[in-house]
């Protein structure tokens, strides 16, 4: 597990208010996953419980794909081996697996009934409250289903509207609730630079590259920090533009002669593309929604429309190319994750526990990388960014982006006078002699003095795949 998994678990564990709504409102995620974790943490503080619950969600969407989807067995196998369904939304315990589940439930229920009903309304309500992508795409699905009903249902327009508007209002309520929770609060300080106008060519190129990455997710497996990379990506995060055009054509081919599905596909793609451009989000868990959307559109098309004989071979080749690329990327990244250390946080926590320091007063920096240790030790850590004990990061205006010697002294003086303190550094601290010697290539002494405190470096855990999560562990005693 890595820090983002622990962060949400700790937010739920140490939440204030029913279902942890106070924390949810400041974290940029809708409430469904957080609310479930809030219930789980009322019974246990062991993060393993979250992984088991997440595994049940994954098993459920795998069941739907195997037993309820219209795909052939070989296609299902490749989908389950795909980068996103095997690794990004299955191994990593976050809210996006709920989104996968409700996308598949929507496709199954809609193709079973062929109309907007209360079951679909509830599914779309829940989908909207999984993530910001679930919120946006649930609105697209609701609008599409409503217009499909208007076009193909034989009832009069008045009866159609009277029957459907309550369901649409319910879905709208779900979208509105999600928007309220996801929208940044007035004191939010999370570093996002949003762009709409003037046009930013670099952002546009990155967003287009993400579309390619979503369908050919083959990482730079030879790199230590391979996560969120692509083998054709340049150092500035861009793939050549014609790769994206080619992938877009291949992914769109199955929908060309099905106008309603084509409109649904294009609406979702352009919405996600604009959002990626607007926010600058660039991680795989975000742009993976291009691939999820493609699965939903393919599911709807195969169940709602009879295949056209003249297009069978073209569609088969397009689908096969995408699924084989996905499976190759999924197997590669899964095997790499199996053989390499992803995050070192749990290992550092076990070390502290083995040495008998699990309950000692702890001070650390940077806050967002400390959540694995706080989660595994079921302890709170005084962070220099917040100047108080805490277990997760709150991105508000009180948070310090940079710290100095006075902040370090204040942190040390916050602890018990005569007990051994534990100091955790996730990056070199310029004020410490230990790191000055390292930078200037002088002999590094494990023991050194800072202010009125003697530091001793007990261990260093080099970053794994997640490059922000390396840990220096120091034992600290006050000098009388």
Q: Put the strands of the sheet holding 362-365 in their side by side order.
A: 388-390, 381-383, 362-365, 421-425, 471-478, 453-461, 447-450
Domain stop point among 290, 320, 339: 339
Query: In this structure, what DSSP letter does residue 103 have?
Result: H
Strands (E), 344-420: 362-365, 381-383, 388-390
If asked whether residues 215 and 121 sit together in one domain, one would say yes
Of the residues 339, 361, 376, the one at which a domain ends: 339
332 and 452 share one domain: no
Residues 186 and 209 in one domain: yes
* Angle in degrees, CA 11, 17, 19, rounded to 5: 65
Separation between Cα atoms, residue 204 and residue 206, nearest integer Å: 5
Alpha carbon distance 408, 35 (integer Å): 36
Same domain as 330, residue 257: yes
Indicate if 179 and 298 belong to the same structural domain: yes
Q: Provide CB contacts within 8 A for 76, sequence distance 6+.
A: 65, 66, 69
- 255-289, pLDDT tens digit by residue? 998 999 999 999 999 999 999 999 888 899 999 99
Give the separation between CA 138 and CA 282, rounded to whole angstroms: 22
Q: Which of 136, 453, 112, 464 is nearest to 279 (CA)?
A: 136
Report the relative pairing of strands 471-478 and 421-425 from DSSP bridges. Answer: antiparallel
Q: How far is CA 164 from CA 107, 134, 160, 243, 263, in A?
A: 19, 21, 6, 42, 21
On whether both 248 and 382 belong to a single domain, the answer is: no
Residues 457 and 361 in one domain: yes
Q: Among residues 322, 339, 356, which one ends one of the domains?
A: 339
| Distance from chain centroid for Cα 254 | 29
What string of pLDDT tens digits covers the 480 residues of the chain? 999 999 989 988 887 766 666 655 556 678 899 889 999 999 999 999 999 999 999 999 999 999 999 999 999 999 999 999 999 999 999 999 999 999 999 999 998 877 788 899 999 999 999 999 999 999 999 999 988 887 766 666 666 667 778 889 999 999 999 988 887 776 666 667 777 778 889 889 999 999 999 999 999 998 889 999 999 988 888 888 889 999 999 999 999 989 999 999 999 999 999 999 998 888 999 999 999 999 999 999 998 887 776 678 888 899 999 999 999 999 999 999 998 899 999 999 999 999 999 999 999 999 999 999 999 999 999 999 999 999 888 888 888 888 888 999 999 999 888 899 999 999 999 889 999 988 888 888 899 999 889 999 999 999 999 988 999 999 999 987
Query: Torsions phi, psi of 363, nearest 5?
Result: -125, 145
Handedness of CA 321, 251, 63, 86 (dihedral sign): positive
251 and 318 belong to one structural domain: yes
CB-neighbour burial class of residue 274 (10 A; exposed 0-12, middle 13-18, buried 19+)? middle
Number of domains in the chain: 2
Q: What is the DSSP letter of 446?
A: S
Q: Within this chain, do residues 372 and 409 fall inside the same structural domain, yes or no?
A: yes
Q: Are residues 362 and 328 in the same domain?
A: no
Residues 381 and 244 in one domain: no
What is the value of pTM for the model shown? 0.93
Helix orientation angle between 284-304 and 259-279, rounded to the nearest 10 degrees? 170
What is the C-alpha separation between 270 and 258, in angstroms, rounded? 18
**Domain extent at residue 461:** 345-478
CA atoms of 460 and 336, how far apart (whole Å):
23
Which residue, among 272, 274, 273, 209, has the nearest Cα to 243 in the 3D structure? 209
Strand partners, 473: 424, 459
Q: Are residues 281 and 367 in the same domain?
A: no
């Amino acid at each position: 597990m890595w820090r983002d998994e622990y962060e949400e678990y700790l937010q739920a564990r140490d939440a204030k208010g029913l279902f942890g709504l106070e924390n949810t409102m400041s974290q940029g995620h809708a409430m469904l996953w957080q609310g479930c974790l809030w219930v789980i943490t009322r019974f246990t503080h062991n993060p393993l419980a979250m992984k088991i619950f997440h595994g049940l969600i994954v098993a459920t969407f795998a069941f739907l794909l195997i037993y309820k989807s219209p795909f052939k067995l070989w296609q299902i196998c490749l989908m389950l081996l795909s980068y996103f369904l095997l690794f990004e939304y299955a191994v990593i315990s976050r809210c996006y697996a709920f989104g996968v589940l409700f996308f598949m439930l929507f496709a199954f229920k809609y193709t079973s009934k062929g109309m907007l009903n209360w079951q679909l309304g509830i599914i779309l309500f829940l989908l909207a409250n999984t993530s910001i992508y679930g919120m946006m795409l649930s609105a697209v699905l609701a609008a599409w289903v409503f217009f499909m009903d208007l076009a193909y249902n034989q009832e009069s327009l008045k009866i159609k509207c009277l029957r459907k508007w309550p369901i649409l209002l319910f879905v709208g309520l779900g979208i509105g609730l999600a928007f309220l929770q996801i929208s940044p609060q007035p004191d939010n300080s999370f570093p996002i630079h949003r762009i709409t106008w003037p046009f930013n060519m670099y952002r546009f190129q990155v967003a287009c590259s993400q579309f390619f990455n979503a369908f050919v997710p083959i990482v730079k497996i030879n790199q230590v920090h391979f996560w969120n990379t692509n083998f054709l990506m340049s150092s500035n995060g861009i793939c050549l533009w014609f790769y994206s055009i080619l992938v877009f054509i291949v992914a769109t081919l199955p929908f060309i002669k099905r106008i309603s599905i084509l409109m649904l596909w294009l609406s979702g793609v352009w919405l996600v593309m604009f959002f990626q451009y607007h926010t600058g989000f660039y991680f795989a868990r975000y742009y993976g929604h291009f691939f999820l959307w493609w699965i939903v559109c393919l599911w709807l098309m195969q169940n709602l429309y009879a295949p056209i004989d003249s297009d069978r071979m073209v569609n088969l080749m397009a689908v096969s190319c995408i699924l084989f690329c996905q499976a190759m990327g999924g197997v590669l990244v899964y095997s790499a994750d199996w053989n390499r250390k992803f995050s070192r946080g749990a290992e550092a926590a076990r070390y502290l526990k083995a040495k008998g320091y699990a309950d000692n007063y702890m001070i650390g920096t940077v806050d967002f990388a400390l959540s694995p240790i706080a989660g595994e030790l079921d302890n709170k850590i005084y962070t220099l960014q917040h100047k108080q004990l805490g277990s997760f990061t709150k991105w508000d205006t009180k948070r310090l982006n940079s710290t100095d010697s006075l902040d370090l002294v204040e942190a040390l003086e916050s602890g018990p006078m005569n007990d051994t303190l534990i100091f955790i550094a996730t990056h070199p601290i310029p004020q410490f002699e230990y790191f000055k010697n390292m930078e200037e290539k002088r002999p590094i002494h494990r023991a050194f003095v800072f202010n009125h405190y003697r530091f001793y470096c007990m261990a260093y855990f080099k970053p794994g795949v997640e490059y922000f999560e390396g840990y220096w562990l120091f034992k600290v005693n006050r000098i009388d």
